[in-house]
Structure 1
Amino acid sequence: MKKRCLLTILLGGCVVMSSLAQITFSGKVINAETGLPVRGANVRLEQTTIGCATNSKGEFKLKNVKDGEYTLRASCLDYSPLRLKVSKDKTNLLIKLQKTPINLDQVVVTGTGTHHRLKDSPVPVEVMSSEEIKKAGITDFQTAMTMLQPSLSFSTNAMGSYLMMNGLSNKYVLILINGKKLTGDTANNIDLSRIDMNSVKRIEVLKGAASALYGSDAIAGVINIITDQPKNLLTVTSNTHLEKYGQFTQGVTADVTTNKFGSYTSYRRQQSNGWRQNPLDEDGNVTDKVSSLAFDANVINQKFIFKPTDKLSLHTEGGFYDRLTDRPIAGYNYNLKYQSYNLGVGAKYLFSHSSYIDFNVSNDNYHSGYKYLTESGKYQIGDKKTVKKQHYYNANLKGVFRHSKAFKSVVGLEYINEQLNRESASVDKHVYTGAVYVQEEIKLLQDLQAIVGGRYVHHQEAGNSFTPKASLMYKLGNFNIRASYAGGFRAPGLDELYYYMHSRKTITVGSTDLKAEKSQYGSLNVEYVSSRFTASATAYINQVDDMINSRTTLLSAMSAEERQAIIDQATAVFGAQEITGLKKYKEYRNLDKALVKGFDTNLTAYLGYGFTLGGGYSFAYARGKDQDGNWTNINRSIRHTGSVTANWVHAWNSYKLNINLNGRVQSKRYYLVSGADDSAPGFGLWNLNTRHTFDCGKSFIVEPGFGVNNIFDYKDSRPYGSNYSSLTPGRTLYVSLLLKFRQ
């Protein structure tokens, strides 16, 4: 009996020791053709959180791995990923990666809310990698979207850049940073200066309604900016860009990564002296006002990640942004100032590689105002006035569960609270939104998969909404065929709900009776994918109903009772003296509808000998119907847009040369003002960029750059006040310098 007990104890101890046994995988990643080490390759054990980046010698080591069988995956930009089965201790693995000019294994998350390789995503998503952006010599978000995304366009005014996507305005485009909404606008234009391009890993663009997954505002599409999190122990970069008219950008990042801890810090300084397109205004008079304002801006972001176990990760992050214009005193009474700060915390628990729970709480705050250049009323020179405060609070609980190889579920709860304070407009309000969403990914056959889902929303003022989605993807050899349908909705903004403003003899009033705007979107996508050539074409239709717009009525056209009621209310708010000469009454209503039809095409081809050619074309027939039943072109919409990118790269030992030519051509931008045609003419912009990479030893890279922006010296030199096609000042030269250290 004693022997049996002793044997049982010994066997139990062996089982326990075996379960606690740990192994190590180590080796080297090399270029299969040259045999040279591949630095910065990502080596990871699938279905775990264990991974690292290769050092300057291409070496890697994965320690403290529980004994068992694993699939090791090695990947790197410009290389085809490689998988191999591993078990027991392996200390001399040699992994040979094949060079590829087209990244077919790019991972995306936008569109499904789960990770998919780009070529396998059931929803078509367009991706711009940091490498593509860097090759084009681009340092700001707006230029990246303009030159590399033909379906996006910008019209610029003194208050900010007005974004359009496939014929619909910026209020129908949801901009995310790592899946979190970017808030804060100037005159209803999202402040894009807050986006720090130095820390961007990739930008994912999803076109069409995506409200089932992302909620309000995603009627035209979603732009998700994914930031980088290097795997090296220490990575420090400095990126400097200098151009004519005092255009200067300085970015610095400092990242530290260990097995359990990560710290990611970024800072960007951007400034410009500004310029004018024409010294004359539309009446032929000399003006001191400028078309492109001088400014300086700073962005600081910090993120910490802590992984106490292989399954649990925690993070906290925050950022600060400020921007101040520098307008000439002769033409203006004040400068414009903007500030924002954001905070967020979150946790993620892995049940397996494909099943997890993710919880995030975030807060974004944005303030805009004036800094006076001259005395104005009670304000003295240098005084500051806050005009608008915006606060956005979001809590999101999402679970992703893979039941089998054929089924994956996404379920989530979301709570949003938005606050707006505008003292001058008598607005100090907040509104909440609650939502529940579900999505099911189904693999019907080996080459056929589907996604179905929906979101149910309750908005404090606009009531309840339900938005469905359905996507189907069929793989036929090298072809992917995708069909999608999605409902979209946009809840009325706080300005539209509660606005009460007196300006220029006009009273503008919001309404709590507004309904949510809704859309129906359908698309068909065909894509061809190979190792040297990819091409895609997407046809779509997007119908938007109950669009919110303002209707203006002359007080003289109203009945005496209606007119007196408006005057009495305005007098109580602003005072009798302030509303002297009041003539117009403007109110927000669900007045309009829109119908956008179009198609997009994209292609990328590797021509051999280091040459790559890419481009795209977008056609958007965007029409709107007003309350009188008239169909017209949607303001700021563009019918035809195209982009081209040609790149050549070659390496000589430790030196690599990259030459990039990129261009954008677009037709006129439609714009009607009080029935008069003020459309902006079509134009073309072409840029030539060179980058010179010097590999200075094991851990240090120096990369100077030189280039010409706007090669053919295009400039819209019409008088000040025109609806400019572009604010480019003409041909400019630039120099840049990237320094990178990693250990």
Structure 2
Amino acid sequence: MKKRCLFVVLLAGCTVTAAFAQEPAKPSNQELSVELNPVVVTGTGTHNRLKNTPAPVDVVTAADIKKAGITDFQQAMTMLVPSLSFSTTAMGSYLIMNGLSNKYVLVLINGKKLIGDALNNIDLSRIDMNNVKRIEVLKGAGSALYGSDAIGGVINIITDTPINLLTVTSNTRVEEYGQFTQGATVDVSTSKFGSHTSYTRRQADGWQLSGVEENGEATTKNASNAFYSNILNQQFTFTPNDKISGYVEGGFFDRKVKRPTPVYNYDLGYDSYNLGAGAKYRFNEKAYIQLDLKNDNYDTKYHYTVDGKNNKVGDSERVKRQRYYQANLKGFIRTGENARTVLGLEYVNESLERASFGVDKAVSTYAAYAQEEMTLLKELRVVAGLRYTYHENAGSNVTPKIALMYRLGHFNLRAQYAAGFRAPALDELYKLSLSTRGTAALGIGNTNLHAEKSHYGSVNVEYTNAWLSVGVTGYINSIRDMINARTVKLADMSPAEQEEIKKLALMAEGATPEGVAKLKNVTRFVNDEDALVKGFEVNLNSNLGAGFSLGGSYVYTYARNKDIETGWRPIQLSVRHSGSVNANYVRSWGDYRLNVNLNSRIQSKRTHLTLTKGEWEDESAPGFALWNLNTRHSFDGFEHFTIEPGIGVDNLLNKVDRRPYGVNYSSLNPGRTVYVSLLLRFKK
């Protein structure tokens, strides 16, 4: 019955389209070809054509996302960037880049950091896909430009800017299991003023993959919980003259995860708002200075659904509050016909309030950076950068970078070295929590932690012509002093140490003498792990003609880490083999254009190891292959309107992980689903 309803919605959309059809319009040549050379900014901090940037960057354009019928950031990265993977749980997904977890990957929106730590993972559902122009993925250390957290790589979401006097867009997608996405944007642009307003609503019902636990008992727990979220963003831009430009912006986000009762006694809530402003002054065509200011705020809450000792149904409790302030002053100078210099200063203040951990702390970071781009011998491009960072707890860190590119006919040869670092998180510095459930344990932060550091190197060979791009990249990333939560039995400590630990435990939120008396284990953060990640990636994109295009990637990752107790082992959540295929066909008949897209994600098992009695047990999630088919039907024979109904099938091969609840699922996909979409756009 659900599928019939979906087809009826699509048919209604097509009927409305036909009723408003007017004059035919010729299809855009842009949509009949593959964009092999977009403009990128992430690798160098300045605008360059992709084929001219010395640092290899993966680019997912708005056209790629639209052709695949994707409205969610995680799905876009899963299906279109094989070097990224996600470890799935009922309450969220953990981003992995080339074997390194989310805390080593810096996520930016227009070059500014995205915060929002939900269960120790950046809340990627905050990303509004309505206004994405392109997503740039820089793999490897990017600390020379972007500072802390950029050890594994950088993901930079670039948003679009209004160019028409008025553009109003509605984008709707309806899918089985109650999955619904509604996006709406209003853009205004004049010679001196611009406005972008965007709203997105997403929701879904929860679903089970298996109705039993690992012990065979029935369960009502969902592999994927029901949720809803709202994202509202507003930006105003102004350009009073050819020397001055500026913007102010803000956004609001809320998400609620609904969990089955009485298994759980509360739902999870996430709220955030952000504010930003910036201005650029252009001295002349060769120099400008730019100031960007940002404030981001993120709260985690419990919404109680069962009466308890200290709460009633309907009560809410804020359990975590994060604040982030950033000021970045950057200057750009074109020092010659083939040379560009970037100089910058940055200040960051981060704060964390977490009552259950006894944390209410803030830490500041100060940085200065410089970068020089130059072209030598006509075909040799060089980018060299250096950043000095002072973190109040981790001290001073210097991160250099150098990247080279030499063009030889249709070939680009690239090599780079970059250092990276990650400053300790506030939880790692100041955590103090006492758990008396099961084996009582104390969690302790460590203010003596120092920064994790990395050395990254890569080489790349790329061949490009008008219809084909093929690239091969090999890399190695060595990381030392990784921060790890190390557990020690209280009984193994000296009497004096035990007494000090018990005194500390009494300071934890909600601690009682009775609870402290049960204390058995102590978990403390320490710098005692190293890691080595190496591998290679092959990418191909082609325009085959007659409306056909084909792309694909294969990624091999060998990721291992070493600690003082168990030696070398595969890094948790890493994936050895992954790949993607993306095939597209487009053809026009008069004012009607058909686009058919087939995309896939294929990967081997995802590593999950459990230490039991000194031995590692393999509980890895199995490999999988997901294939999606999307069709779009564009009717653009109007003077001001575009109407695009669509229909597609996710998970064509109906690949579902039906193993018991509690295992490490390969994916949370519920199986083959049919969806319909409808895009309406007014443009003047």
Question: What's the TM-score bracket when you normalise by the shorter of the two chains?
Answer: over 0.9
Amino acid at match of 1:161: S
Query: Deviations along 1:374-431, whole A, 9 cap, x unmatched?
Result: 0122110010000000000000000111011121100000000000000111000000
1:127 maps onto 2:59 in alignment: yes
Task: Note the C-alpha offset of 1:244.
Answer: 0.7
User: Which of 390, 400, 417 lines up with 1:458 in the alignment?
Assistant: 390
How far apart in 2 are the matches of 1:670 and 1:78? Answer: 44
Q: Of the candidates 652, 661, 667, which is equivalent to residue 726 of structure 1?
A: 667
Q: What secondary structure sits across from 2:514 in the alignment?
A: coil
Distance 1:182 1:656 in 2: 37
The aligned counterpart of 1:741 is 682
Q: Is the 8 A contact 1:536 1:601 kept in 2?
A: yes
Distance 2:429 2:92 in 1: 23
- When residues 673 and 629 of structure 1 are mapped into structure 2, their CA distance, relative to the original with a 3 A threshold, is closer
Tell me what 1:48 maps to: none
What is the aligned partner in structure 1 of residue 247 from structure 2?
Answer: 315
Residue 192 (structure 1) aligned to one of 115, 118, 124:
124
- Aligned equivalents of 2:533 and 2:82: distance in 1? 16
Q: Does the alignment pair 1:436 with 2:371?
A: no
- On the 8 A contact 2:32/2:586 being kept in 1, the answer is no
- Alignment deviations for residues 157-214 of structure 1 (CA, whole Å, 9 cap, x no partner): 1332100001111000000001110001111110011001111111011111010000
Match of residue 472 from structure 2: 537
1:240 corresponds in structure 2 to 172
Match of 1:525 in 2: 460
Q: Say whether 1:398 aligns with 2:334.
A: no
Q: How far apart are residue 571 of structure 1 and its match?
A: 2.0
For residues 576-655 of structure 1, the aligned pairs below 5 Å read 576-628=513-565, 630-655=567-592
Asked if the contact 1:102/1:531 (under 8 Å) is kept, the reply is no
**Structure 1 residue matching 2:309: 3-state secondary structure:** coil
Q: Distance in 1 between matches of 2:545 and 2:374?
A: 39
1: distance between equivalents of 2:229 and 2:455?
A: 39
Note the C-alpha offset of 1:579.
3.1
1:624-703 map, 5 Å: 624-628=561-565, 630-674=567-611, 675-703=616-644
Matches within 5 A, 1:4-403: 78-79=29-30, 101-403=33-335
Structure 2 equivalent of residue 26 of structure 1:
none
Counterpart secondary structure, 1:565: helix
Change (3 A) 1:352 1:653: farther
Q: Call closer, same or farther: CA 1:77–1:526 in 2, change over 3 Å.
A: farther
Q: Which position in structure 2 is the counterpart of 1:493?
A: 425
Tell whether the 8 Å contact from 2:162 to 2:195 is kept in structure 1 after alignment. no
3-state SS of paired residue (1:430): strand
Residue 39 of structure 1 aligns with which residue?
none
CA-to-partner distance for each residue in 1:525-570, whole Å, 9 max, x for gaps?
1111111110101000000000001100111222222112211221
One-letter amino acid matched to 2:485: S
Match of residue 415 from structure 1: 347
C-alpha contact 1:414 1:434 (8 A) present in aligned 2:
yes
Q: Deviations over 1:321-376 (max 9, x none)?
A: 00011111131110000000000010011234453211011000000010000012
Cα deviation digits, residues 111-143 of structure 1 (max 9, x gap) = 100000111112111111111101001110000
* Cα drift, residue 57 of structure 1: 11
Amino acid in the other structure paired with 1:424: S
Structure-1 separation of matches of 2:377 and 2:557: 35
Offset of 1:725 from its aligned partner? 0.7
How many Å apart are 1:615 and its aligned residue?
0.5
Q: Deviations over 1:265-298 (max 9, x none)?
A: 0000000011011110111111111110100000
Alignment CA distance shift 1:102-1:233 (3 Å): same
Give the aligned partner of residue 448 of structure 2.
Answer: 513
CA distance, structure 2, for counterparts of residue 57 and residue 211 of structure 1: 51
Amino acid at match of 1:614: G
For the 8 Å contact 1:102–1:533, the answer to whether it is kept is: no
State the structure with more CA Rg: 1
2:502 corresponds in structure 1 to 567
Deviation at 1:77, TM superposition (A): 7.9
Q: Tell me, what secondary structure is at the counterpart of 2:115?
A: coil
> Are 1:715 and 2:652 matched, yes or no?
no
- Judge conservation of contact 1:275–1:293 (CA < 8 Å) in 2: yes
Helix, strand or coil at the partner of 1:563: helix
Tell me the TM-score normalised to structure 2 length: 0.94
Contact (CA 8 Å) 1:289, 1:332: kept in 2 or not?
Answer: no
SS in 2 for 1:403: strand
Structure 2 residue matching 1:330: 3-state secondary structure: coil
Alpha-carbon distance between aligned partners in 1 of 2:566 and 2:400, rounded to the nearest angstrom: 29
Equivalent residue, structure 1, for 2:6: none
- State whether residues 338 and 366 of structure 1, in contact with CA within 8 Å, keep that contact through their aligned partners in structure 2: yes
Give me the whole-angstrom Cα distance separating, in 1, the residues matched to 2:347 and 2:217: 53
SS of 1:137 mapped into structure 2: coil
Q: Deviations over 1:6-33 (max 9, x none)?
A: xxxxxxxxxxxxxxxxxxxxxxxxxxxx
| Aligned residue type for 1:652 | W
How many Å separate the matches in 1 of 2:654 and 2:29? 34
1:465 and 1:617 mapped to 2: Cα distance? Answer: 35
Q: Which residue of 1 aligns with 2:11?
A: none
Aligned-residue Cα RMSD (Å) equals: 1.5
- Whole-Å separation in 2 of the counterparts to 1:142 and 1:353: 39
Higher relative contact order (CA 8 A, sep 6+): 2
Alpha-carbon separation, structure 2, partners of 1:476 and 1:654: 43
4+ residue segments displaced more than 6 Å: none
CA distance in 2, matches of 1:628, 1:454: 36
1:668-703 deviation line (CA, Å, top 9, x unaligned) = 001112222110001100001100001141110110
Which residue identity lines up with residue 465 of structure 1 in the other structure?
N
Contact in 1 for aligned 2:458/2:473 (Cα 8 Å): yes
Alpha carbons 1:77, 1:103 under 8 Å: kept: no
Counterpart-to-counterpart distance in 2, 1:580 and 1:569:
13
Q: Which amino acid aligns with 1:290?
A: N
Unaligned runs of 5+ in 2: 1-22
The one-letter amino acid paired with 1:673 is T
Inter-CA distance 77–667: structure 2 relative to 1 (3 Å threshold): farther
Which residue of the partner structure matches residue 52 of structure 1?
Answer: none
Paired residues of 1:78 and 1:102 also in contact (CA < 8 A):
no
Tell me, in whole angstroms, the C-alpha distance in 2 between the residues paired with 1:591 and 1:542.
17
- The CA deviation at 1:580 is 4.4
What is the CA–CA distance in structure 2 between the aligned matches of 1:213 and 1:247, rounded to whole Å?
39
Give the 3-state SS of the residue equivalent to 1:577 in structure 2: helix
Give the conservation status (yes or no) of the 8 Å contact 2:252–2:273: yes
In the aligned structure 1, how far is the partner of 2:29 from the partner of 2:35?
A: 6
AA partner of residue 261 (structure 2): I
Q: What CA distance in whole angstroms lies between the structure 2 residues aligned with 1:147 and 1:228?
A: 22
Distance 1:57 1:494 in 2: 59
Identical amino acids, percent of aligned pairs: 57
Matched residue, 1:546: 481
Report the TM-score when normalising by structure 1: 0.86
